[in-house]
C-alpha cells in the first residue's frame, strides 16, 4: 500500500519545535513541546495506517526491501525526525505485517488492546528499568503485584513468586535452569551428563535450546510421543521415566505443555503431575499459549492440575492481547528463584532494604513490561480478556467445521482445544507450499505451515476475536484459487 497523507495531517511544526542541537534531542521538560509534537505526529501516522490497512500484508519481497536500503547510509542522517519517519514508511510501515487485520491467521501473534499500547508509551519515555528498586520504585511493586496475581490464578500458594521475562523462550530457560540446579543439588554436581529433560514430541523447541544452553548434552531431551489428540502419551511418559532410571539417568525436569504451538493441545496436567511425582526434580508447565485459559470463563478446567507444577510459563503477549514483549515465569516455591541471584555491590547489594527484582531475573536492565498488563487489568479487568480468549477458541471450533465440510480442503486433526486449525488443500505437499507462498505474495491473507506426521500441512492460529468464519473462508478461497491442479479446477 502506498503512503497517503493522513486525513488529519500532522500540523507543520513551528520553528520553536525544531531541535537545534543534539542536546535538544534528549527528552526533558524543556523539550516537552517537541515530545508532544513528535509523538503526536508518529501516533497520527500509525492511527492513519490502522484506518487505511485493508489486508495483513503487501507481499513485499526480501529482495525489494534490500533494494530500498541501498540508498540509506546510516552514517549520514536525514534532515530531521519527520524525514526519518517518512523514510521509515518505505523500509517498514508501507509493508508491515498487521496482526490486527482479520485475515492475519498465521502465527501466535495477537492484536493488542489499547490500555496495553498506552502502557508502551510510558515505557519508551519514562524508560524505567525494573532491575532494582532504586531505578523503578512503584514499577517494582506493580510487577510484583502482577506476579502474585498470576501465581494466584495458577493456584500457587503463599510461597510462590515469579518474574517477568521477554518471552516464553526465556521463561522456559529460566524454569529449566532452576530445574538443573535442583537436579544437581539432588544428584550431585557431576550428574550433569546424566540429566534428562522429558517433554512431548510436540513441545516447543525452546526446551531443546534451553537444554543446550544449560550444558546438557544434545541427547538430553527425551521426546515422548503424543496420543491421537496430541497430548503427551501417559503410558509413554511412564516408559520414558522407567527407561531413564534403568539407564542410570536422572530426570531433571518433565515439561508439560498447556497449549502446543501447532495443535493447541493441552497436556493432561494432573495425570502428568501424579505420574511424575517423586520421579523428577522439577515439573514445568509451558503455558505460553494456554495461559489465556487461566482467565477463561468456560475453559479453565483444561488447566486442571496446573497448580501441581513447580513452575509455569505464561505469555501475556500471546493470549492476553499484549504487545510484545510480556511474559513471566512463575515458581511455586519462589525461593528457588534464588538460583539466579547474584549480589553486585554496585547494584543490588545483599543489604538492600528494598526488593530488587534483578535478584530473581536472568536479565539485568529490564523493560517494565508489566505496565501494559497492569493498565489492561485496571481498565478492562481479567474477565474481558478471558472472554476474548474464549471467542478465539470458539472461532477455531467453527472454522474447523467449515474447513472440514469444504470440498477443496481436508482437516488433518480434530478440533483444537485452543485456537489452531490444521488442514490441507486436497493435493500433494508441493501444492500446500505453493499455495501458501502465492497467498503471502498477494498479502490478502496469511496462514502458517507446519509438518504433521511427515506431511506438509497448513495452519491457522486464530488469535483475533474480531476475525469471523467468513474472513477465514475468504482467505481459504484465496488459497484454493492457487490450486491450479486441484480437484475443483
Residues forming contacts to ligand PLP in the complex (CB under 6 A) are: 108, 167-169, 172, 204, 206, 257, 259, 261, 286, 288-289, 315, 327
Give the residue with the Cβ less far from ligand PLP, 81 or 105.
105
CB of 168 to ligand PLP, least distance (A): 3
Give the residue with the Cβ less far from ligand PLP, 233 or 408.
233
CB of 71 to ligand PLP, least distance (A): 33
CB of 112 to ligand PLP, least distance (A): 15
Give the residue with the Cβ less far from ligand PLP, 168 or 427.
168
Give the residue with the Cβ less far from ligand PLP, 38 or 447.
447
CB of 176 to ligand PLP, least distance (A): 12
CA atoms within 13 A of residue 302's CA, in its CB half-sphere: 26
For residues 463 and 419, what is the distance between their CA atoms, to the nearest angstrom?
Answer: 7
Give the residue with the Cβ less far from ligand PLP, 204 or 372.
204
- Residue 64: which H helix or E strand, with range? helix 62-69
Give the residue with the Cβ less far from ligand PLP, 140 or 257.
257
Torsion angle of C-alpha atoms 268, 273, 275, 280, degrees rounded to 10: 130
From residue 67, alpha-carbon distances to 83, 109, 164 in Å are 19, 28, 39
Is the Cα torsion angle 432, 434, 435, 436 positive or negative in sign? positive
CB of 56 to ligand PLP, least distance (A): 18
Give the residue with the Cβ less far from ligand PLP, 220 or 319.
319
Nearest to 358 by CA among 372, 344, 373: 344
Which class for 20: exposed (0-12), middle (13-18), buried (19 or more C-beta within 10 A)?
A: exposed
Nearest to 292 by CA among 270, 314, 269, 323: 314
CB of 261 to ligand PLP, least distance (A): 4
CB of 373 to ligand PLP, least distance (A): 15
Q: Which three cell numbers stand for residue 243?
A: 527407561
Give the residue with the Cβ less far from ligand PLP, 216 or 314.
314
Q: Which three cell numbers stand for residue 20?
A: 537545534
3 state DSSP class of 266: strand
Cβ neighbours for 86, distance < 8 A, ≥ 6 positions apart? 3
DSSP state string for 402-430:
HHHH-TTEEESS---SSSEEEEEESS-HH
CB of 382 to ligand PLP, least distance (A): 20
- Residue 330's DSSP bridge partners are 162, 312
Q: Which three cell numbers stand for residue 27?
A: 527528552
Which class for 389: exposed (0-12), middle (13-18), buried (19 or more C-beta within 10 A)?
A: buried
Give the residue with the Cβ less far from ligand PLP, 289 or 320.
289
Q: Running DSSP on this structure, what letter comes out for residue 322?
A: P
CB of 292 to ligand PLP, least distance (A): 12
Amino acid at each position: 500500500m502506498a503512503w497517503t497523507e493522513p486525513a488529519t495531517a500532522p500540523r507543520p511544526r513551528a520553528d520553536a519545535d525544531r531541535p537545534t542541537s543534539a542536546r535538544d534531542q534528549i527528552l526533558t521538560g524543556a523539550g516537552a513541546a517537541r515530545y508532544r509534537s513528535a509523538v503526536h505526529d508518529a501516533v497520527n501516522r500509525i492511527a492513519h495506517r490502522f484506518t487505511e490497512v485493508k489486508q495483513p500484508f503487501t507481499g513485499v519481497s526480501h529482495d525489494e526491501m534490500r533494494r530500498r536500503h541501498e540508498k540509506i547510509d546510516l552514517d549520514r542522517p536525514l534532515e530531521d525526525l519527520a524525514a526519518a519517519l517518512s523514510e521509515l514508511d518505505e523500509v517498514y510501515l508501507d509493508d508491515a505485517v498487521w496482526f490486527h487485520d482479520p485475515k492475519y491467521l498465521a502465527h501466535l501473534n495477537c492484536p493488542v488492546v489499547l490500555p496495553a499500547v498506552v502502557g508502551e508509551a510510558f515505557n519508551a519515555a519514562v524508560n524505567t528499568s525494573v532491575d532494582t528498586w532504586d531505578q523503578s520504585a512503584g514499577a517494582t511493586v506493580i510487577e510484583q503485584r502482577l506476579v502474585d496475581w498470576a501465581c494466584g490464578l495458577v493456584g500457587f500458594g503463599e510461597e510462590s513468586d515469579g518474574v517477568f521475562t521477554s518471552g516464553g523462550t526465556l521463561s522456559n530457560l529460566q524454569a529449566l535452569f532452576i530445574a538443573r540446579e535442583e537436579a544437581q543439588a539432588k544428584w550431585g554436581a557431576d550428574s550433569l551428563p546424566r540429566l534428562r529433560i522429558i517433554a512431548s514430541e510436540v513441545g516447543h523447541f525452546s526446551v531443546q535450546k534451553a537444554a543446550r544452553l544449560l550444558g546438557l548434552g544434545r541427547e538430553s531431551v527425551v521426546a515422548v510421543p503424543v496420543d491421537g489428540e496430541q497430548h503427551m502419551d501417559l503410558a509413554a511418559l511412564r516408559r520414558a521415566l522407567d527407561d531413564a532410571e534403568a539407564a542410570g539417568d536422572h530426570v531433571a525436569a518433565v515439561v508439560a505443555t498447556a497449549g502446543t504451538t501447532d495443535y493447541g493441545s493441552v497436556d493432561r496436567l494432573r495425570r502428568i503431575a501424579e505420574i511424575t511425582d517423586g520421579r523428577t526434580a522439577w515439573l514445568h508447565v509451558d503455558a505460553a499459549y494456554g495461559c489465556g485459559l487461566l482467565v477463561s470463563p468456560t475453559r479453565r478446567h483444561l488447566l486442571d492440575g496446573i497448580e501441581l507444577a513447580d513452575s509455569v510459563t505464561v505469555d501475556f503477549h500471546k493470549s492476553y492481547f499484549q504487545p510484545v514483549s510480556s511474559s513471566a515465569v512463575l515458581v511455586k516455591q519462589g525461593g528457588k528463584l534464588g538460583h539466579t541471584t547474584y549480589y553486585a555491590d554496585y547494584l543490588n547489594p545483599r543489604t538492600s532494604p528494598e526488593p530488587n527484582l534483578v535478584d530473581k531475573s536472568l536479565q539485568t536492565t529490564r523493560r517494565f513490561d508489566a505496565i501494559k498488563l497492569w493498565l489492561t487489568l485496571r481498565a478492562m479487568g481479567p474477565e474481558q480478556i478471558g472472554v476474548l480468549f474464549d471467542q478465539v477458541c470458539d472461532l477455531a471450533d467453527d472454522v474447523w467445521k467449515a474447513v472440514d465440510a469444504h470440498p477443496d480442503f481436508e482437516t488433518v486433526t480434530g478440533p483444537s482445544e485452543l485456537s489452531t486449525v490444521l488442514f490441507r488443500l486436497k493435493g500433494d505437499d508441493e501444492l500446500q507450499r505453493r499455495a501458501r507462498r502465492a497467498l503471502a505474495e498477494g498479502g490478502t491473507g496469511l496462514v502458517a505451515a507446519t509438518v504433521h506426521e511427515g506431511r506438509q500441512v497448513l495452519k491457522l492460529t486464530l488469535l483475533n476475536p474480531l476475525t469471523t468464519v467468513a474472513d477465514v473462508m475468504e482467505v481459504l478461497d484465496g488459497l484454493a484459487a492457487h490450486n491450479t491442479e486441484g480437484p475443483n479446477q
